Amino acid sequence: MAVTSQANAQEVAAVKKDAVRDKSVYSPVQLSRIDHTPTLPAVLQGNFKLNHGPPTTAAGQPEEIQKLFPCLYGQPSVQLVESDAPTYNVDQKLKVGVVLSGGQAPGGHNVIAGFFDYLQTHAPGSVLYGFKGGPAGIMRNNVVEITADFLYPYRNQGGFDIICSGRDKIESPEQFQQAVDTVTKLDLDGLVVIGGDDSNTNAALLGEHFRAKKVRTHVIGCPKTIDGDLKSPEVPISFGFDTACKIYAEMIGNIMEVNAQKKTLRQVTNSIADIVCKRAVAGKQYGVVLIPEGLIDFIPEIQHLISELNDILASQGCDDHGHWKATLKPSSRALFDSLPHSIQEELLLERDPHGNVQVSRIEMEKMLISMIETELNARRHEGGYSGQFKGQAHFFGYEGRCGMPTNFDATYCYALGFAAGALMHLGQTGLIASVANLTAPAAEWTVGGTALTQLMDVERRKGRNKPVIKKAMVELGGAPFKKFASVRDVWAVEDSYVSPGPIQFAGPTADETNFTLKLELGASVNL
């Protein structure tokens, strides 16, 4: 087992001991899950070969992507299809590494389990290293060998505990050289990068760099993010999204649901107040409004106000008598004056080390409650509302990120990891493992690898062209949003909510995937 220092060897031993000891403190549900065996897609159950597609291009600016990826650009995506006999070198033992990159998503452990089991099944005697703490583990060659015993207690479990994750980025020439040094020292055939859009962009850059420097290590990515914004026709969903959907849905289901979306702060406030009034008339003095976390980023007038406030705070500061307000543009001044006092205070008090307002710390949900209260009081005064309004804010954050994976995520992740092993074994690099046909039973899922460059576009950052995998935004013309739009007005006024209940691992409902994916893939959904 290759380690960089004596201290590291001791650390690895400690981690192994921990993993065994921890097993005794697992909960009954965790223990019962450890022995759950995810179904493999049929194509991965037997022998398989590669079917190469046509040369690929890019999601945008292909000439620029080609300049950035001279070695990898244009390579075909591949599909795995049934074969009579193994198409890999049956005597080859692999030395490979795996890294978890970025925030946790339920199912990460199963990607590693699938990858490990691929090696055990098709390349016994192979060695799998886990890089600890994310990409920093690659740069510092901080590894643990993943063995069957070490891996066992993490199978089908939530979190990224097995080797932990990190948000460091391999960016500078020195850092790329550190990565080369590590994979050379460990003599790696391949590296699997489990991460989101940025991490997979990085995986492609690493693969390109290794190829350019004639380093023999291949790189395969796996799509991870609970946000659901890393997807394409070939990669229909990232793992973790299904579990997070269902955890948040249970929590919201426990307090009921209604939804709203509009453009300016005044419009948002008024449209919610309208719904509150309508429901009050119908005797429904209750309801739930879902506010997306990034809402504040999509209200331009707030952005303008904040930017003016930053300038004022940086130059003249704010006097106690409010004379500074005269410096605001009239529209910003009007907006500021319309805000509840507590939010005005937040805007003036909370500054980051650079003196800027910390937008992310402004509690949008409380601000809206406060503004809706004000609006409803005004309407009450004019006779337009006679109900009782009392707002209650709930913020749902990390609760969904570290839950135990659903059956769908457990199965999907296991297939992704197994596929990554197969792609690597068959000499592929610069691909993202892609498992599709996901509304069919798991045995019928299709498996392949998509050229990472095919998912890329170029953005200009700090005067340089940077490759990026475009974030998938909610498509207003897509099936899930259209379905939502078709029921939105009814949901706003009637009590049309489904309480999904807690995630089940057994029983008739355990293998259902989420409505968003079903709708995106053209399956029918009964809302």
Catalytic residues: 227
Measured CA distances, 355 to 205, 266, 480 (Å): 35, 28, 41
107 carries a ligand binding annotation: no
399 carries a ligand binding annotation: yes
**DSSP assignment string, 228-285:** --S--SSS---BTHHHHHHHHHHHHHTT---B---SSHHHHHHHHHHHHHHHHHTT--
CB of 46 closer than 8 Å to CB of 80: no
Q: Which residues 20-59 are close enough to bind a second copy by CB under 8 A?
A: 24-30, 32-33
Q: Per CB under 8 A, does 172 bind a second copy?
A: no
Angle at which helix 108-122 crosses helix 407-425, to 10 degrees, equals 40
226 carries a ligand binding annotation: yes
The binding track of 145-164 with respect to a second copy, each residue x by CB under 8 A or -, is ------------xxx-----
Measured from the CB atom, is 363 or 457 closer to a second copy?
363
Q: Per CB under 8 A, does 388 bind a second copy?
A: no
Q: Per CB under 8 A, does 253 bind a second copy?
A: yes
Q: Which residues 477-506 are close enough to bind a second copy by CB under 8 A?
A: 496-506
Size of the site for a second copy (CB under 8 A): 54
Contacts of residue 352, defined as CB under 8 A and 6 or more positions apart, other chains included, come to 358
Could you count the other beta carbons within 10 Å of the beta carbon of residue 159? 18
CB of 275 closer than 8 Å to CB of 387: no
Q: Per CB under 8 A, does 524 bind a second copy?
A: no
CB of 424 closer than 8 Å to CB of 218: yes
Q: State how far the Cα of 417 lies from the Cα of 47, in Å rounded to an integer.
A: 17
* Residue 298 half-sphere exposure toward CB, CA atoms < 13 A: 11
Q: Which residues 108-147 are close enough to bind a second copy by CB under 8 A?
A: none
3-state secondary structure of 439: coil
CB of 430 closer than 8 Å to CB of 452: yes
Q: Which residues 209-238 are close enough to bind a second copy by CB under 8 A?
A: none
Q: Per CB under 8 A, does 378 bind a second copy?
A: no
**DSSP assignment string, 143-187:** EEE--HHHHGGGTT--SSTTT--------SHHHHHHHHHHHHHTT
Q: Per CB under 8 A, does 358 bind a second copy?
A: no
The binding track of 309-348 with respect to a second copy, each residue x by CB under 8 A or -, is -----------x--------------------xx--xx--
Query: How is residue 486 written in tokens?
Result: 């078709």
400 carries a ligand binding annotation: yes
Measured from the CB atom, is 335 or 369 closer to a second copy?
369
> Among the candidate windows 183-191, 300-308, 392-400, 425-433, which touches a second copy by CB under 8 A?
392-400
**Residue stretches of the annotated binding site for diphosphate:** 103
Where on the chain is the footprint of a second copy (CB under 8 A)?
Answer: 24-30, 32-33, 157-159, 247, 250-251, 253-256, 320, 341-342, 345-346, 349-350, 392, 394-395, 397-404, 496-509, 512, 526-527
**Residue stretches of the annotated binding site for substrate:** 225-227, 293, 398-401
**Residue stretches of the annotated binding site:** 103, 197, 225-227, 293, 398-401
